[in-house]
Structure 1
């Protein structure tokens, strides 16, 4: 199933067709490929064979990284609050161990968290539980997080800002003690920037995001937010404003990742940057949030960026259940590819 992009000119926003509901089942390993059309984003389903993944040696944590490979991976975790609340340290540790074991095989360059790492940001023991996820790769793979509503609902950003991973962000790369931050890295001659903004301050820091994105206009930009897409697959109220105020004005924005609501959703928007009536880029926006599960948990989503054909292959897997998880938005497949992605 192909997700058809919405064409955006200036401030006009056309809502896409409704997307399907969350579905979870085993990976089938089967897929079909769609025909490609020029100047449009194609989301195609491919047949992929999984390779064995082996442990690797340690790498130093760096903000700027270079690599000689033709692909790299960003690991994406989101809304792990139920695992922290239920003190599922065993599951969280399996997730972290899987990430570090597969660092070299997948060429993992960043781990991102789209918010609600814990259920209560004022609870020290929940953060202690969540640290079981981070500890295996801490100092070995860079990590950046956006605070969710559960982190900030009690004491605002107080506890989140005191986290070691937040305090260690260079001051030149953050604002207001970690409420928003960015990180850059390069692979070959391709430059990337990840911009994260916490829950409830997205519009307050829209100007800051624009400034950062303009300063790095030669970097492909990935936005990390908590609240952006709704359970319907349309924009949330905040997401609609971020799209209008930040995504549309910055031609380097190509991907937005979010969580917040229990669902898997996706939308693609074509944007005409120069106003000539022809789309200049497609922005893909993905919502990924598994929560409220007792035992069927521990999902990790990883995004494999292919530098040769500018595609992103997305896989969802739980090292706890040892299962792959399907996404109805992409033909009910556990592995799908977004073409013309960056």
Structure 2
């Protein structure tokens, strides 16, 4: 498997997940479309596992990256998805960024809004709001963990200019919170941001490709430190400095090209503020199995506050050779495993 490593702006350390006091967990659910269509029991196993382990693992948030269903007009698939995500209701905060399979090329998103309307979340204190009025296609959530305050923006596939203007206002209003952005399509397999243009994807006039999402939303807001996406089959990542020179971690995960529509793999992101790292694992509750390759199990530097000096970090490169990267450099992981 071809791997390429690029020096950019953060240290990537490969390790196993630790469970220090004060740690907390975010779980990422990418592209469940084939589970909703053919394997609802796998989808159920994911969300049931999250609910059952929410307390012991201190799971504070779940982010669904979109393509909840495979066919936007299939009531059966939406019912399956609604049931599966229902295991999280009342157990853990979550948000959903609808993907291209969740609405028609003409923009019909009515089924998504029937099964996941704002009213499904309005009673929860962590639900911040939605855009446009009456639609949950763009939303934000608020939570706190280990003395840190977070905001998570979930943006629909190919968000338009009005959605980005709304998102900018939300981030400015909550500029004192660490910000995560989840959106369906953002990175390609080589870590590039322009996955495709709206003309190729059929998103419609006024929608933006992913480089514009970076330029207009992520780069100008210095509290954004993490971007999560799916859509493209495989795993990839990159790190770039924002307007304030702070690193923004950008991570792709999508397992639907595996057997059984993805074999139930999800991402576990364990935040360890005292160790200044995010430990990432890829796990399938239905198989009770971890993916152990370096693109599926790794650690990222997480520095919510001032960084201690001096700042040397070991880096594990593709050949397994240990090296030292000075502050301000990084190893990014890339993986080529499939297609859209």
TM-score normalised by L of structure 1 = 0.76
RMSD: 2.4
Counterpart of 1:82 in 2: which secondary structure? helix
Match of 2:301 in 1: 339
* Number of positions where the alignment pairs a residue of Structure 1 with one of Structure 2: 281
Match of 1:299 in 2: 265
Match of 1:198 in 2: 156
CA distance in 1, matches of 2:272, 2:25: 9
Unpaired segments ≥5 residues, structure 2: 198-208, 305-340
CA distance in 2, matches of 1:288, 1:264: 5
Residue 323 and residue 226 in structure 1: after superposition, are their counterparts in 2 closer, same or farther (change >3 A)?
Answer: same
Residue 172 and residue 93 in structure 1: after superposition, are their counterparts in 2 closer, same or farther (change >3 A)?
Answer: closer
Match of 1:258 in 2: 229
Deviations 1:286-323 (A, max 9, x none): 01001134436111111111121331111101111222
Deviation at 1:103, TM superposition (A): 0.8
Question: Which residue, 96, 99, 102 being the options, matches 1:145?
Answer: 96
Contact 1:82 1:292 in 2 (8 A): no
Match of 1:318 in 2: 284
Match of 1:240 in 2: 211
1:112 aligns with 2:74: no
CA distance in 2, matches of 1:265, 1:91: 24
CA distance in 1, matches of 2:276, 2:219: 21
Counterpart of 1:191 in 2: which secondary structure? strand
Deviation at 1:166, TM superposition (A): 3.7
Residue 207 and residue 272 in structure 1: after superposition, are their counterparts in 2 closer, same or farther (change >3 A)?
Answer: closer
CA distance in 2, matches of 1:312, 1:298: 22
Unpaired segments ≥5 residues, structure 1: 7-39, 52-68, 274-279
Deviations 1:139-182 (A, max 9, x none): 21112100000001266221111224643344961111112110
Deviation at 1:2, TM superposition (A): 9.4
Residue 289 and residue 166 in structure 1: after superposition, are their counterparts in 2 closer, same or farther (change >3 A)?
Answer: farther
Deviation at 1:77, TM superposition (A): 0.3
